[in-house]
Copies of this chain bind each other. A is one copy, B any other.
């Protein structure tokens, strides 16, 4: 097949990629709107990068979908590395939105009507990124709108792809399972105490009392939040302000533990993974925010091409579409490092490298 030596343009299939820009306003009978080319190119560039992000997410999911992750293997190291890459790409995309600021509202108006009812809302790949990260239809802003093809929603085929992806195991669920399997609270490390409920575990008893003692008067309510989040004990008035309970209490205990003791070798990569996920959420929010700000600038208070209420839709999504808020919210429950409970020796040893065990006769 590869008889001809590779050549830059053919390797990159530029004959396809660079032949895919057909501004509607350039068609016969229309008045060419110069800036429609920019509009097409920037969205294609977004989609190329979305494809790359999905490619990285597929790898990351494949690691966490294994029965057992080999902590000595390369998997988690690559997960960390590739999550970071996703964040690097989103950082670029946030800057990329700025290129559209060189299109003025009046330049947009020159071809805007030709686009109706399509809109950026219909980026299937962006919805798939959201879905693989863990966003589900009930959580989506104006979820019912997704299937209204004629009003700017998705066509049936794309809608099905998105729904189907949401029904597969997503990253949030994988991370939850991975965290739940963490063996660090096993009784053997802690002198095999008699425990009825997990809240009675010596570590959490000690930690909870340190945390509660450090709360100011105005923050007193956080004690009940603590019990609800980490031990599933319902509170009188369910505070919406402390996460969305997408993670189990067991998983959140493990995540908090990793954040607290992140400097132990075993936790270094895990901590960076959790941190990168929170960062992904933030960068996607920034993207939505910049996108919203750009749309507002373009169309002011008019209706969006997709018949949505334009900027209004984006504002709703901005608040609802973050998925790792439970993890981000854990910073509510940190304590100062100097007050951290000392860990049992057996556990400390388990959290380190084997290298220290070995003698080097040389």
Interface residue ranges, A against B (CB under 8 Å): 1-2, 5-9, 11-14, 16-22, 24, 27, 31, 34, 37-38, 40-41, 43-45, 47-49, 51-52, 55, 59, 71-74, 77-78, 81, 84-85, 88-89, 92, 95-96, 98-99, 101-102, 104-106, 109-110, 114-125, 150, 155, 158, 183, 186-188, 216, 218-219, 222, 225, 241-242, 259-260, 262-266, 268-269, 275, 278-279, 282, 285-286, 289-290, 293, 296-303, 307, 328-338, 349-358, 360-362
Contact = CB atoms under 8 A, between A and B. Distances in A.
A119 B73 contact: no
Contacts of A49: 41, 45
7 contacts: A8-B120, A44-B48, A71-B352, A71-B355, A219-B303, A222-B301, A266-B355
Q: Is the interface of A mostly helix, strand, loop or mixed?
A: helix
Nearest to A105: B331
B105 A334 contact: yes
Contacts of A96: 92
Contacts of A260: 106
Nearest to A111: B336
A72 B290 contact: no
A350 to B, nearest CB: 5
B9 A158 contact: yes
A227 to B, nearest CB: 15
Nearest to A98: B88
What are the 9 closest A-B residue pairs judged by CB atoms, nearest first?
A300-B332, A74-B263, A8-B122, A105-B331, A72-B352, A13-B20, A300-B331, A6-B118, A85-B102
A40 B99 CA distance: 22
Given A11-B40, A300-B333, 7 more contacts: A2-B24, A16-B20, A71-B356, A188-B362, A218-B303, A297-B328, A302-B332
Number of copies: 4
B268 A297 contact: no
A37 B52 contact: yes
